[in-house]
Amino acid sequence: MASSHLRLVPPKPENGQVRRSPPVRTKDTRTRKHLTPAEVERLIAGARDGRHGFRDSVMILVAYRHGLRASELVDLRWDQVDFAAGTLHVRRLKNGTASTHPLLGDEMRALRRLQRETDDSPFIFVTERGAPFTVKGFSHVVARAGEAAGLSIKPHPHMLRHGCGYALAAKGHDTRSLQAYLGHRNIQNTTVYTELSPTRFKDFWRK
């Protein structure tokens, strides 16, 4: 067998360190990172068709209505719900600020029913075995609901949080209030919603 003239060439050090190629970042080709209110309604309807349709639909509703991260949703416990006052105490992760949100009538009714149907777990959302839900499990719920709803965009849980921010900004809520509602420490994380609000320029051509 003829010997090969090829040989391995070690990388040349630069200033005593080996120069390596930077990691290649995958380009995010999604046109938007949030769901519209109409898409959320379809997603909730799609979730109802599943085996645990009621629980799954309530998970999506609560995540959207309160701008919850998936990790915050699955960590919700019954002691955070005050049925008498109609409020939900929201504990934020990622160094976010906690707040108390009002619960609307549809949420109150849904949570009361869910509490009656759930075993004595301290967690609001549990699996059929009674274990706390996981972030991965909720991701599967959202994906299945998106397929059942026939959405043109592939949904994931964080699109519900973004959808909440854009929906509230479109209703004209000020940036500071929206910041507190979403639990942002830095207001720059909130301005992305108000900057793209369709109501921001609504009076520009009116006399």
- Catalytic residues, by residue number, are 69, 94, 158, 161, 184, 193
E-assigned strand segments in the chain: 13-14, 17-18, 81-82, 87-90, 99-102
DSSP one-letter code for 171: T
Break the chain down into helix, strand, coil percent, rounded to 5: 45, 10, 50
Q: How far apart are CA 173 and CA 16, in angstroms?
A: 55
Start-end of H helices in 132-174: 135-149, 158-170
Q: How far apart are CA 49 and CA 146, in angstroms?
A: 11
For residue 45, the tally of other CB atoms under 10 A from its CB is: 15
